[in-house]
Structure 1
Amino acid sequence: MAVPQFGQTQPGRDYRDRPAAFGIAERQGKIAAVRVQKPGHAAWLDLPGGAIDPGEGPEQAVVREFGEETGLKVAVREAYARADQFFVNTDDEAFDNRATFFVLSVEGQDAALKVEDDHTLVWLEPLEAVETLRHEAHAWAVAAWLRLRRRG
C-alpha cells in the first residue's frame, strides 16, 4: 500500500527525510493536541510527537515526545497509519516527515516529563482537530483514526 504524501515543496529546496512518530490519545471523547507558540510565529496545533532519535524506535519516540510536549505518560496500543509531510520548520529547515501514527492510552501525568515550554496540551474534539491541525498529514491521520474507531 502506498504511503500518502502531503504538503508542497518549494522549488530549489532539498527536503531531508525525517523519520517521525505521532500519537492519538483520547480522553472523554477528545484527543490530545499541542498548541505550539514559537517567538515571531503565529501559534499552531499539532498532534504530539516528533522526530525519532538515533537508536530509538517509533514506539519509544512517540512515548518520549508525548511526555516532553504534554507531560502525559502514554502507552502504545497500536500503529495504525503512515503518512509523509513536506514542511519547513521555524528554523527554515526543510523536511519530509516520514511519520508513523499510533493509538495511545493515557497512563497518567508526570510534570517532570514536560520539557517543551513552547508546547501546551489542549484537548480537541476529533472533527475540530481535522479542521485545525497544521499539517495535512495529521488531519488525515485523525480522520483515519475516526474511521478505524467506528469499525472497531
Structure 2
Amino acid sequence: MIRRFGEAIQADQRYRLRPGAYALLVRDGSLLVTHQQEPVPEYQLPGGGIDPGESPLSALHREVFEETGWRIDVMRRLGAFRRFTYMPEYDLWAEKLCAIYLARPVRAHGAPREPGHSALWMSPEAALRELGNAGDRHFVARFLGVAR
C-alpha cells in the first residue's frame, strides 16, 4: 500500500494519474531543493512528471537538471507516496504518484532552465519546515530518522 498525503479526495472530482520522480539530493550534509514561484510560491524536492514512454530514472535526471541545473547520481529508490491535488498550471485534477529517490548532486551546469524555479541548499531540518507538501517532508524525516 502506498501512503497518501495532502488534501482529501473530492468525491465529485475525476483525477488523472500523474506519475512522477523526485529526488532527495544530499551533499555535505545539505539538501538541494527547488523553489517554484508559480502558481503558488513553494519549496519542493526537485523532480516532476514522467512523460509518456519515459522511464522514471530518465524523467528524474531530466527534471532535476531542468529545475536545479545539476547532474545527479541516483543511489536508490526510497519509496513512493500519493497525493490528490489540483494543478492550476495544467488545469488538471491529478492523482500524483510520486516515486522518491536518494541521489547525489554531481556537477552544476548553470542556473535552472525551468522558468520560475531557483535551486538552493538548505539543512535537512530547514527542509522539514519549508517543503510545501507533507509527502516531501515525510521522506526528509525518514532520511533524518525522525518520527513524524
1:35 and 2:35 aligned = yes
SS at match of 1:111: coil
Match of 1:70? Answer: 68
Residues 2-151 of structure 1: pairs in structure 2 closer than 5 A: 2-8=1-7, 9-38=9-38, 41-91=39-89, 92-111=91-110, 114-147=112-145
Across the aligned residues of Structure 1 and Structure 2, the Cα RMSD in angstroms comes to 1.7
Q: Which runs of 4+ in 1 moved over 3 A?
A: none
- The one-letter code of the counterpart of 1:31 is L
Q: Could you tell me how far apart the structure 2 residues matched to 1:76 and 1:51 are?
A: 17
1:111 Cα deviation from its structure 2 partner: 2.5
Q: Could you tell me how far apart the structure 2 residues matched to 1:136 and 1:16 are?
A: 20
Q: Could you tell me how far apart the structure 1 residues matched to 2:95 and 2:121 are?
A: 27
Report if aligned partners of 1:80, 1:145 keep a CA contact under 8 Å in 2. Answer: no
Q: Pick closer, same or farther for the CA change 1:42–1:54 going to 2, 3 Å.
A: closer
Q: Could you tell me how far apart the structure 1 residues matched to 2:144 and 2:133 are?
A: 17
| Structure 2: unaligned runs, 5 residues or longer | none
| Structure 1: unaligned runs, 5 residues or longer | none
- The one-letter code of the counterpart of 1:120 is S
Residues matched between the structures, number: 144
Q: Could you tell me how far apart the structure 2 residues matched to 1:117 and 1:11 are?
A: 34
Q: Could you tell me how far apart the structure 2 residues matched to 1:103 and 1:54 are?
A: 23
TM-score by length of 2: 0.89
- The one-letter code of the counterpart of 2:143 is W
- The one-letter code of the counterpart of 1:30 is S
1:14 Cα deviation from its structure 2 partner: 1.4
Report if aligned partners of 1:72, 1:107 keep a CA contact under 8 Å in 2. Answer: yes
Q: Could you tell me how far apart the structure 2 residues matched to 1:86 and 1:137 are?
A: 11
TM-score by length of 1: 0.87
